Structure 1
């Protein structure tokens, strides 16, 4: 075998290795991108659905309280829808989240104020629910924006400052 044949064989093997390496990297990047896109789109759908459910719950609760529906045929349907929304909203929340906990507490508190004599408390609680939900949705939207940004590897990973462990308590 001549030296030029050895060079050809080595260059063919290197080309093959680079091709396989490129294929593996592209596969990993495609999977990661698809995962991020799926999570981001699901989060956007969740945000919109929660917004719709909270607004429907607030509107129906206020309408039911203000319109004196007791004893009317529509009362049963309206109360059922309010209860359904209250439970659906709770299932959409993170039990460990700060704003989520506040929304959950308000969902438990609001039905106590549906008597027409407590309309001021109901209005305040519904306003608090709306404001807390706005903070929750803003927090989630920031997560969506962060997830959608492309990740860049650090230029010099060995020059990163060392991680400081949390203090012992």
Structure 2
């Protein structure tokens, strides 16, 4: 009879351990899922914000280049606002982000100086840089969805794979 009680007690303890382990694993998976969903949602929102700001900046720049002087003066304030918004959305220490900021500044300075001859080329460059940035971010979202939080090494590998042309100082697009 004592052996039956011991076997029953061991069975209960094993069931308890398995149950607690399952709960722990479930909580960890839930935390990972919540993290992935939060990061993915925030990144998607940021990508939309930067995409829309760059698109509006380019459109407004083009409008200014073909507008009369009075319309140019009116639109310049909005262009400056967009310039600030774009710069605040980017990391000044990141290579591609700094190239985008430089391009935005170059376009703005051209508009201020009414030097419109290279504006279309600069806009095309800005669009290409932004496309590369958005592609990199999208790849990061996909990787984090699969693996969770990426290590610094994984982020660097992803960055290097997508942006080799910028790491060598080649800014041509």
TM-score by length of 2: 0.78
What is the match of residue 2 of structure 2?
A: 2
The RMSD of aligned alpha carbons is 1.9
Residue 113 of structure 1: which of 92, 102, 110 is its match?
110
The answer to whether the 8 A contact 1:65-1:116 is kept is no
C-alpha deviation, 1:117, in angstroms: 5.9
Radius of gyration: which is bigger? 1
2:30 maps to which residue? Answer: 30
Equivalent residue number for residue 70 of structure 2: 71
Q: CA deviation at 1:119?
A: 2.1
**Alignment-derived partner of residue 166 in structure 2:** none
What residue in structure 1 maps to residue 154 of structure 2?
A: none
Give the Cα separation in 2 of the matches to 1:32 and 1:127.
39
Structure 1 unaligned blocks of 5 or more: 152-169
Q: Where is the helix percentage greater, Structure 1 or Structure 2?
A: 2
Structure 2: give runs of 5+ residues left out of the alignment. 149-173
Equivalent residues of 1:65, 1:115 under 8 A apart: no
Q: Is the 8 A contact 1:36 1:147 kept in 2?
A: yes
Distance 1:117 1:92, change over 3 A: closer
Distance 1:86 1:75 in 2: 16
Distance 1:36 1:11 in 2: 37
TM-score for the superposition, normalised by structure 1? 0.80
Q: Which is further off, 91-100 or 107-116?
A: 107-116
Aligned to 2:93: 96
Report the number of matched residues.
148
Cross-structure match for 2:17: 17
**Separation in 1, partners of 2:106, 2:113:** 15
The correspondence for 1:139, drawn from 131, 136, 160, is: 136
